[in-house]
Amino acid sequence: MKRINKTPKESEVVKTELVLPNDTNSLDNLFGGRLLEWMDVSAAIAAQRHSNCVVVTASVDNVSFVEPIKQGDVVTLKARVTRAFNSSMEVYIEVTAENPRTKQHIGSNSAFYTLVAMDNEGHKVIVPEIKPETKEERKFFKTALQRRELRLVMAGKMRLKESLSLKDVLTDE
């Protein structure tokens, strides 16, 4: 069966949240866990748009909180599928915050999530391939294989010497 192609734009999600008092810690900064929840939901919506299936989160790459997000800020999350493998999809999420009074924007963080498409019985489903269109989309697509293999090596599901793209980067051979 031939897999159809979809563009990253077709999976794009833009989610906006207002940071309320129940979203913050004692310093009036957004709880990291709340932001991770919003990121996970955004990633899932993007992956569902791409696959037309129910999806589950398989992994989350390193998430560093660069700048605090304050109570009252407006948080914008942008997510899109960067590459699809067999049943898994890599989703890139970028988070920014805006102070509505000063209109100042800050980049808070970004991360790659991996989600897997499932059928109603919980079996993996083959997903459409990605056809990148822009220079940035092609860059994310090209480097996604390295990120995927690194995730698999770190999870103990692949040995470094089995990697197609990492062994030249990480070894002296």
Segment 134-158 shows an average pLDDT of 81
Which domain does 50 fall in, by range?
5-132
Q: Is residue 111 part of a domain?
A: yes
CA neighbor of 14 nearest in space, from 74, 77, 75, 73 = 77
Q: Which residues pair with 124 in a beta bridge?
A: 118
Q: Is residue 21 part of a domain?
A: yes
Domain with residue 91: its CATH number is 3.10.129.10
| Domains in the chain, number | 1
* Look-up of token digits 């800020």: 73
Q: Is residue 47 part of a domain?
A: yes
Segment 116-131 shows an average pLDDT of 96
pLDDT band at residue 168 under the 50/70/90 scheme: low
Q: Is residue 169 part of a domain?
A: no
pTM to 2 decimals?
0.87
Cβ contact 108:75 at 8 Å? yes
What is the C-alpha to C-alpha distance for residues 53 and 60, in angstroms, rounded to an integer?
Answer: 20
Task: Give residue 150's pLDDT.
Answer: 73
Q: Is residue 106 part of a domain?
A: yes
Q: How do residues 26-79 score in pLDDT, each as one tens digit?
A: 999 999 999 999 999 999 999 999 999 999 999 998 888 889 999 999 999 999
User: What 3-state class would DSSP assign to 10?
Assistant: helix
pLDDT band at residue 154 under the 50/70/90 scheme: low
Q: Is residue 138 part of a domain?
A: no
Q: Is residue 160 part of a domain?
A: no
